[in-house]
């Protein structure tokens, strides 16, 4: 039976890339997740530095054929957009890239133009070759190849979005940067996560670390478990790993977490899931 969604992790780290030997098992690239549909349709969740390798893989896969991608950005912090200038399909004149993001800070196009502007990058954003479209997400879901993508707000400095993706009964929820403690937004993420097959969410801190990092915009692995339990999620994926976290430390956190919620995982670059 053909999977309804294939999910692959290209970047799982939060805040900053970490190309260090003791972090290579889980990976050091920042946030980027690929969702592939049975008909070849492509959704990309965030464009951290992991999108560079995804772009190279797409070029190898397509050859001279055009690439079409729908990119959903959770917000504009560096670790979620820093791979865009290095996303090879963006430079191909036959290609098409649609960027979806919130309009909290202004137009999507303007925010991305600001990143690739003189003197910050040698190629201006409007000089790339691909056909581009810009969609400001609101409460209405986006439909693409029979998939519905619903955006919801999460608690994070300068505001951010999470996404609920529904594909032929399969449900993936992606909330990479999110802090608990806001009653309204805590209830909202539980509403949008209800019954998800897979919840990919911010588990940057341990409960002990969080005490000195309140207000920084990130959550703990224990809070992720509470969310998954409340929302009756089938599988939980810890994401946005702290840049200081080693492979051994992540393995230790996962061991402790599985004592309470056995069906949880820590995201690794290259890891694939079929739903």
**What is each CA distance from 145 to 42, 135, 166, 171, in whole angstroms?**
9, 16, 11, 15
The residue with tokens 């999977």 is 3
- Residue 48, domain member (yes or no): yes
**pLDDT band, residue 103 (cuts 50/70/90):** confident
* pLDDT (average), residues 212-228: 97
* pLDDT (average), residues 98-120: 93
In sequence order, what E strands does 138-254 have?
Answer: 142-144, 147-154, 160-167, 170-175, 198-202, 235-239
Tokens found for residue 161: 């979005």
Helix axes 183-193, 221-231, angle to 10 degrees: 60
- DSSP reduced 3-state for 141: coil
pLDDT at 33: 98
**Overall domain count for the chain:** 1
Rg (CA), the chain: 18
Q: For the chain, give the percent of residues with pLDDT over 90.
A: 96
pLDDT at 106: 82
- Residue 260, domain member (yes or no): yes
pLDDT at 140: 83
- Residue 226, domain member (yes or no): yes
Measured in whole angstroms, the distance separating CA 110 from the mean position of its chain's CA atoms is 21
pLDDT at 2: 84
Q: Is the distance from CB of 33 to CB of 10 less than 8 angstroms?
A: yes
- The closest alpha carbon to 197, from 221, 175, 167, belongs to 167
**pLDDT band, residue 72 (cuts 50/70/90):** very high
- Residue 236, domain member (yes or no): yes
Domain that holds residue 63: 6-274
- Residue 232, domain member (yes or no): yes
- The closest alpha carbon to 162, from 143, 181, 137, 195, belongs to 137
* pLDDT (average), residues 10-24: 96
The residue with tokens 């919801």 is 152
- Residue 153, domain member (yes or no): yes
Question: Does residue 172 have a pLDDT over 90?
Answer: yes
In sequence order, what are the residues at sequence separation of 6 or more whose Cβ sits closer than 8 angstroms to the Cβ of residue 74? 31, 45, 46, 80, 101, 154, 160, 161, 162, 163, 174, 175, 176, 177
**H/E segment holding residue 140:** none
- Residue 1, domain member (yes or no): no
Question: Does residue 212 have a pLDDT over 80?
Answer: yes
**pLDDT band, residue 99 (cuts 50/70/90):** very high
Question: Does residue 210 have a pLDDT over 90?
Answer: yes
pLDDT at 67: 97
pLDDT at 105: 78
Give the CATH number for residue 185.
3.60.15.10
* pLDDT (average), residues 126-151: 93
- Residue 245, domain member (yes or no): yes
**pLDDT band, residue 227 (cuts 50/70/90):** very high
Question: Does residue 139 have a pLDDT over 80?
Answer: no
């Amino acid at each position: 039976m053909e999977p309804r969604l294939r999910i692959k992790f290209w970047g799982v780290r939060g805040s900053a890339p970490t190309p260090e030997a003791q972090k290579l098992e889980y990976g050091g690239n920042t946030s980027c997740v690929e969702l592939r549909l049975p008909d070849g349709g492509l959704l990309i969740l965030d464009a951290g530095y992991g999108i560079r390798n995804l772009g190279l893989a797409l070029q190898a896969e397509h050859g001279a054929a055009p690439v079409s991608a729908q990119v959903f950005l959770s917000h504009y912090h560096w670790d979620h957009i820093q791979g865009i200038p290095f996303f090879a399909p963006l430079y191909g004149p036959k290609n098409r890239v649609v960027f979806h993001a919130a309009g909290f800070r202004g137009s999507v196009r303007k925010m991305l133009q600001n990143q690739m502007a003189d003197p910050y990058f040698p190629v201006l954003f409007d000089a790339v070759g691909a056909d581009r479209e810009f969609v400001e997400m609101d409460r209405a879901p986006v439909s693409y190849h029979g998939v519905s993508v619903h955006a919801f707000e999460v608690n994070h400095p300068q505001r951010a979005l999470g996404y609920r993706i529904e594909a032929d009964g399969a449900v993936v929820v992606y909330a990479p940067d999110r802090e608990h403690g806001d009653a309204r937004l805590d209830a909202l993420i539980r509403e949008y996560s209800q019954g998800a097959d897979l919840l990919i969410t911010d588990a940057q801190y341990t409960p002990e670390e969080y005490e000195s990092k309140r207000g920084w915009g990130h959550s703990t692995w224990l809070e992720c478990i509470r969310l998954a339990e409340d929302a009756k999620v089938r599988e939980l994926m810890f994401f946005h790993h702290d840049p200081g976290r080693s492979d051994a430390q992540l393995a230790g956190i996962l061991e402790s977490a599985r004592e309470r919620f056995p069906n949880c995982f820590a995201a690794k670059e290259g890891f694939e899931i079929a739903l």
